[in-house]
Structure 1
């Protein structure tokens, strides 16, 4: 471009000099400049420019051949009138050059239009690149699918996702389960659990590789965070759990502490049998802030009472508070299971959907509770915030807790070893997501023995087995092979069962993207607001709490996902705010504006009455289904009337006593001229990796 401008500059200069010399006219300013430059001795033209002379270059827009607009026409006419006429047309360049001209009144927009044209070209290139669809070269697509890429994409509905590959209804269903969710693998129908595209399914079947494959749904959940809608009913999930009834087994009931008591399966004895021992595991304890000293003991007592109220009776043999995500309390749980249940039978993880069973399954798979070689062979379970991810039974073999192994494990737990670099990164990551963090290690690891050496292990000779009780073949690739028949002949198994879907759950009325916003995934930071009577508090556009009657102000501490906005207004304006902002940025969830709110169920009101217990103790909790809860703190003896609006399918309730009664003490300073208080950002005590107190600081 620079060379073109220079050539045009020289050509225009020569033409101006020649025109002035031929006509004998008075030398103009432009001709004087050209004459002052002169010619070189060799006849070559000089490009010397007077430094005192200001030059202005105007580039006319020639990006397309459309008719120029009015502004551009005026600019061209202005240039023609001010500049010396060009004796010869130069259609190939399409630009004009003016020397020493005063800038026009209307600043030319040609440069802006050229930049805009370049942006359009870049966007077009990006769009063309986005049409390039990458797929596995080993699984070629049908010609019909390749041709269909040129067609207009249809609007995707709820739970839909465009995937490549075609089903084959003539191909029989395999007898191999998906290693992620447990469904039988097949290629007959997209909407049936365990589906794989026929191109991939047939190739894996021919290569005998279905054993390590995951279905299309697990792949999308793990790598793309998208859920496919499946034709699975609540009764089908429950039927899988009913298989436990005639078996000798131990039941580990996983309970979501954020959703107490709704996450407790009410008819558990009917599903698993009244003769089963039940160990209750209060999961997600890492999300609960410490509102007072010894708060964990209080939460444990309250969880035990809820289980008794559910009718479990003497079936409950133990209660633990754990975090399957951060590992808090998991080592203690393993030690108790190895001492009490030992190797008496299989163990089943049971609980409601989204309670964290699959996360606990993956954590135990990498611990001393699993056979050492099995963790390298068995695929981890698929985990996601959407309920109903696990569709069938997943399992791994349990290690036999012999006295020798128990002694070696106890030695490892008592030794204060320095965490490795990888473990430090893990602890640092989890310390930013939860209040309580624990370490889960492994005492027994698979050993690899060379075939050219003969090793004598006194422990192996004494007990007739190696560290894990497995007869490992002398090969370098033993860790990657499947478990042998002798290793699994008399093994006991831990099973991950499908989650029991709740009848009343706010997640049932939310889309996939909204579920990810509503379900808490990190530690809950309380957000406290002070409300006077006749004020309303919105939890997104999902729930609305009206403070109708009371003698004094009350504190409302919201413990939900931080991605759900909280808005406070008067009761008179509440309906108008909901009508105007539901589905938009102010209320956040649901998403999609008016079109989404047309499909969202109407909010149904229900009234609650409660009595205040003082400024330092919450009177009750208003549970918001799987989204969390709101703790209400009022003056002692004050009679309150609250009206809670929410979807009928959510099933909000009044929880007394509250789970964290002193949660109001975790508020910061009052924000001036607002009903809100500053939040306290909590950080775990890094010296107490297995739990303990936490420190706080203001945001």
Structure 2
């Protein structure tokens, strides 16, 4: 099929083609002809994802994604950098300053609806500013939103309009931070069209730039997310991912532990209270449906070996051979801290204890001053 006119899938941005089912943008000729007539042209991959939650891999390399992102440095634009409050480290695009050139940033912390009300929002903003400064980003401002529930999106839209001047707006971020969901909300506010762009929990849904005209001749542009191959979504099916990933406001769970006790977060992660004086309180902030199992530290290795995929789920037992091994990270706290399992949540721990967090190889475990 001739793609000189570059008809694009309105769901993922890929150039439509009818020749190769394994390449991005493929759609059967019958669907292509129907889509052209109705002006609703989705590729087969987006159609199946939207209607049947089926994800199909495509031959798009990391280099191709980076090449698309590199084009931003030659523009005059406002960059809206979307990060996941639950997975800041995993939200970082390495070398983002190089990709976007001298264009200014607005940092957006998504999934604010999941944060317990006991956590002060200004404290989260301060924390995001400190972390962004550490990686060399000086944002014009920081806003917290929930793209899924449309919380504070109208305020974000007003801020974008104030900051962009006569410039395009590029939405950037890694996969699964909620860029396309946010883009859909912004499109709805600007045009009234709902759910134009394909969204899912799976990485790499958007395959090319998706451009929406603004009312002053400039454009709102959704960019493909940089894929982090250590992301939990690469190792779980849709059912398990729904249990692992927070869906609703988190309800903190309190555990009183003696030194030498372990908590399993399903089969996905593990927390050890290695050493400390007296019984201590530990508060867990993870998805409300994720099973937490307590056992003795001395028995923990054996419990994990025997119960992985059975008592300790997710993941399902079918992942026994393919799921990455858990890697141990030990910390000694000097003040009240959060032990963070990037992408899952965190555990608030007291001062003056020795603890260990275990997570699948390639996924970060880190310590920070407590948010509460």
- The TM-score with structure 1 as length reference comes to 0.51
- For residues 495-523 of structure 1, give each alpha carbon's deviation from its aligned partner in whole angstroms, at most 9, with x where no partner exists: 01111222543333323433233222222
- The aligned counterpart of 2:141 is 318
For residues 402-481 of structure 1, what are the structure 2 equivalents within 5 Å?
none
- For residues 631-652 of structure 1, give each alpha carbon's deviation from its aligned partner in whole angstroms, at most 9, with x where no partner exists: 22x2x5x2x2222222112222
- The aligned counterpart of 1:363 is 185
- For residues 574-611 of structure 1, give each alpha carbon's deviation from its aligned partner in whole angstroms, at most 9, with x where no partner exists: 12221221112x212111x2x43022222222222213
> In 1, are the aligned partners of 2:201 and 2:233 still within 8 Å (CA)?
no
Q: For residue 343 of structure 2, give the secondary structure of its aligned residue in structure 1.
A: helix
- The aligned counterpart of 1:37 is none
For residues 344-355 of structure 1, what are the structure 2 equivalents within 5 Å?
344-355=166-177
CA distance in 2, matches of 1:399, 1:543: 48
Greater than 6 Å deviation, 4+ residue runs:
none
Is 1:280–2:107 an aligned residue pair? yes
Is 1:657–2:363 an aligned residue pair? no
CA distance in 1, matches of 2:238, 2:161: 39
TM-superposed CA distance for 1:236, in Å, is 2.1
What RMSD, in angstroms, separates the aligned Cα atoms of the two structures?
2.1
- The TM-score with structure 2 as length reference comes to 0.93
For residues 54-65 of structure 1, what are the structure 2 equivalents within 5 Å?
none
Residue segments in structure 1 that go unaligned for 5+ positions in a row: 1-170, 401-490, 614-618, 662-699
- The aligned counterpart of 1:339 is 162
CA gap 1:515/1:239 in 2 versus in 1, 3 angstroms: farther
Question: Which one of the candidate residues 34, 51, 54 is aligned to 1:204?
Answer: 34
CA distance in 2, matches of 1:267, 1:563: 36
Question: Which one of the candidate residues 107, 124, 129 is aligned to 1:299?
Answer: 124
TM-superposed CA distance for 1:398, in Å, is 1.6
> In 1, are the aligned partners of 2:209 and 2:224 still within 8 Å (CA)?
yes
For residues 75-154 of structure 1, what are the structure 2 equivalents within 5 Å?
none
> In 2, are the aligned partners of 1:261 and 1:306 still within 8 Å (CA)?
no
Higher relative contact order (CA 8 A, sep 6+): 2
- The aligned counterpart of 1:456 is none
> In 2, are the aligned partners of 1:284 and 1:323 still within 8 Å (CA)?
yes
CA gap 1:532/1:620 in 2 versus in 1, 3 angstroms: same
CA gap 1:563/1:233 in 2 versus in 1, 3 angstroms: farther
Is 1:308–2:133 an aligned residue pair? yes
Is 1:588–2:321 an aligned residue pair? no
Question: Which one of the candidate residues 81, 85, 99 is aligned to 1:271?
Answer: 99
TM-superposed CA distance for 1:379, in Å, is 6.6
CA gap 1:577/1:193 in 2 versus in 1, 3 angstroms: same
- For residues 85-143 of structure 1, give each alpha carbon's deviation from its aligned partner in whole angstroms, at most 9, with x where no partner exists: xxxxxxxxxxxxxxxxxxxxxxxxxxxxxxxxxxxxxxxxxxxxxxxxxxxxxxxxxxx
CA gap 1:210/1:628 in 2 versus in 1, 3 angstroms: farther
CA distance in 2, matches of 1:217, 1:605: 38
Q: For residue 332 of structure 2, give the secondary structure of its aligned residue in structure 1.
A: strand
CA distance in 1, matches of 2:330, 2:300: 16
Size of the aligned set, in residue pairs, is 371
CA gap 1:544/1:362 in 2 versus in 1, 3 angstroms: same
> In 1, are the aligned partners of 2:78 and 2:163 still within 8 Å (CA)?
no
- For residues 358-409 of structure 1, give each alpha carbon's deviation from its aligned partner in whole angstroms, at most 9, with x where no partner exists: 1111111121xx2xxx445x97111111121111111212234xxxxxxxxx
TM-superposed CA distance for 1:266, in Å, is 4.0
CA distance in 2, matches of 1:264, 1:391: 19
> In 2, are the aligned partners of 1:323 and 1:329 still within 8 Å (CA)?
yes
The structure with more strand, counted as a fraction of residues:
2
CA distance in 1, matches of 2:162, 2:29: 48
CA gap 1:221/1:528 in 2 versus in 1, 3 angstroms: farther
Residue segments in structure 2 that go unaligned for 5+ positions in a row: none
> In 2, are the aligned partners of 1:173 and 1:187 still within 8 Å (CA)?
no
> In 1, are the aligned partners of 2:16 and 2:43 still within 8 Å (CA)?
yes
CA distance in 2, matches of 1:600, 1:338: 44
- For residues 223-280 of structure 1, give each alpha carbon's deviation from its aligned partner in whole angstroms, at most 9, with x where no partner exists: 222211222232322221111111111101111112124323342111111x111111
For residues 510-659 of structure 1, what are the structure 2 equivalents within 5 Å?
510-584=236-310, 586-591=311-316, 593=317, 595-611=318-334, 613=335, 619-632=336-349, 634=350, 636=351, 638=352, 640-654=353-367, 656-658=368-370
- For residues 182-212 of structure 1, give each alpha carbon's deviation from its aligned partner in whole angstroms, at most 9, with x where no partner exists: 11112323332212234433x437xx33842
TM-superposed CA distance for 1:348, in Å, is 0.4
Q: For residue 212 of structure 1, give the secondary structure of its aligned residue in structure 2.
A: coil
> In 1, are the aligned partners of 2:271 and 2:355 still within 8 Å (CA)?
yes
> In 1, are the aligned partners of 2:250 and 2:287 still within 8 Å (CA)?
yes
> In 2, are the aligned partners of 1:390 and 1:497 still within 8 Å (CA)?
yes
> In 1, are the aligned partners of 2:107 and 2:142 still within 8 Å (CA)?
yes
CA distance in 2, matches of 1:226, 1:527: 34
CA distance in 2, matches of 1:538, 1:395: 44
CA distance in 1, matches of 2:241, 2:234: 9
- The aligned counterpart of 1:381 is 197
CA distance in 1, matches of 2:131, 2:150: 24
Question: Which one of the candidate residues 392, 400, 407 is aligned to 2:208?
Answer: 392
- The aligned counterpart of 2:116 is 289
CA distance in 1, matches of 2:162, 2:360: 46
